[in-house]
Amino acid sequence: MASRWWRWLRGCSWRPAARRPGPGSPGLAGPPGPPAAADAHAQVHRWKGLDLSQIPYINLVKHLTSACPNVYSISRFHHTTPDSKTHSGEKYTDPFKLGWRDLKGLYEDIRKELLISTSELKEMSEYYFDGKGKAFRPIIVALMARACNIHHNNSRHVQASQRTIALIAEMIHTASLVHDDVIDDASSRRGKHTVNKIWGEKKAVLAGDLILSAASIALARIGNTTVISILTQVIEDLVRGEFLQLGSKENENERFAHYLEKTFKKTASLIANSCKAVSVLGCPDPVVHEIAYQYGKNVGIAFQLIDDVLDFTSCSDQMGKPTSADLKLGLATGPVLFACQQFPEMNAMIMRRFSLPGDVDRARQYVLQSDGVQQTTYLAQQYCHEAIREISKLRPSPERDALIQLSEIVLTRDK
């Protein structure tokens, strides 16, 4: 279901990044009108494959704000309806139902991996494996496994080792949530109290470590050294991503590249490498491995960009955690970085990580009065375009088409 910001966005037109009156600021006229949308799309594709740190930040903004002068539906690039025919001609209901076909008993099986004798540690470790999460990562992994198997030899079965990768992906993700909540001193997650608020920070760190160790044991049991190497990279990326988040860049050109690198390491690496792992297990072709990796990377980045948008546009009840949380943590996400181009006074707030009284509220007002939300959403759309371009290289199948539809769901989700 489209969120409130999505319904609002459908009635908006894209505008150049003109400065508008902010809190206590006079209004100024904007720059000249945008070039043709086709030219802008070509420009976006040119910079997407490059090192963003080498691209002037203002040019990146211009590319995004000049594209699609009338975007009435971000998802117009792909439309399917429930219970519709896929590109392969076969019917399915929706990606989640299709993915769950191979994930029945997911959380029960994860809890079996957590072989713990101490009752308190067991309760802490199983706390988030209550079946109330989106299971977005396991769904993608299961669908990718089938899509790659069908592409390789038309096999309609998911190997036990591929299903284990789905479990491992969810375990690594959950362990990272437990650790992130400790670092952020978060009090709520998925609509309930966090592990650190109930049991304390020290015990929460240990619970996260235990989940990671159980995931590592399950990974070793698969016995494929290539897959082990692929997924251990995820844990390194998670740590490096957290370090990137703790820092900030004074140079505006470097700042956006820093943000996207952090986004990849903290969110997209897990999805990308999990997709690659199941492709390695199901198909010997390195070209397929790269397709799976690129799909996961692009969808993962888009997922986090929309998450950063929702931090400004959704209410706490929808998100299951407080909104404006990133600003309160001193983080400058996509909407803030884009808004900064219209309101340069935000630079000082970014560098002091919104630490002065009133900074968070003022920054939020600037973002909502700017085009930061729309520009970040459009950037997410471009990553989803790329994901679809990659996955469309595989042989047609219901699972391949479900992965295409998941890209649309990433853009239109409201929590």
- pLDDT tens per residue, range 50-83: 443 344 444 454 444 444 333 323 333 333 333 3
* Average pLDDT for 365-377: 96
* Average pLDDT for 18-39: 35
Identify the pLDDT of residue 278: 98
More confident residue, 22 or 407: 407
Residue 216, pLDDT > 50, answer yes
Please name which of 305, 324, 286, 254 lies closest in space to residue 51, comparing C-alpha atoms: 254
CA distances from 234 to 181, 184, 243, 265, 398 (A): 19, 21, 14, 8, 28
More confident residue, 143 or 37: 143
Residue 325, pLDDT > 70, answer yes
* CA gap 74, 408 in Å, rounded: 9
Residue 49, pLDDT > 50, answer no
Mean pLDDT of the chain: 81
Residues β-bridged to residue 91:
85
Q: For the CA atoms of the chain, what is the radius of gyration?
A: 21
Dmax of the chain from CA atoms? 67
Identify the pLDDT of residue 110: 95
Identify the pLDDT of residue 74: 34
More confident residue, 249 or 178: 178
The two three-digit tokens of residue 85, written as one number: 């025919």
CA distances from 321 to 125, 146, 317, 349 (A): 20, 34, 7, 24
Residue-wise pLDDT tens digits, 235-261: 999 999 999 998 877 777 789 999 999
106: confidence class by pLDDT, cuts 50, 70, 90? very high
Q: What is the pTM of this model?
A: 0.80
Identify the pLDDT of residue 20: 41
Q: Which long-range contacts (CB under 8 A, 24 or more apart) does 157-165 make?
A: 158/102, 159/281, 159/282, 161/222, 161/224, 161/227, 161/281, 162/278, 162/281, 162/282, 163/102, 163/103, 164/218, 164/219, 164/221, 164/222, 165/141, 165/222, 165/227, 165/231, 165/274, 165/277, 165/278, 165/281
Cβ pair 231, 219 in contact under 8 A: yes
Residue 335, pLDDT > 80, answer yes
359: confidence class by pLDDT, cuts 50, 70, 90? very high
* CA gap 396, 151 in Å, rounded: 8
More confident residue, 250 or 146: 146
The DSSP line for 182-199 is HHHT--EETTEE-HHHHH
* CA gap 165, 122 in Å, rounded: 22
Identify the pLDDT of residue 158: 95
Please name which of 207, 113, 134, 316 lies closest in space to residue 198, comparing C-alpha atoms: 207
Residue 402, pLDDT > 80, answer yes
More confident residue, 328 or 2: 328
Residues β-bridged to residue 188:
193
The DSSP line for 64-86 is HHHS-SS-S-GGGG----TT-B-
5: confidence class by pLDDT, cuts 50, 70, 90? very low
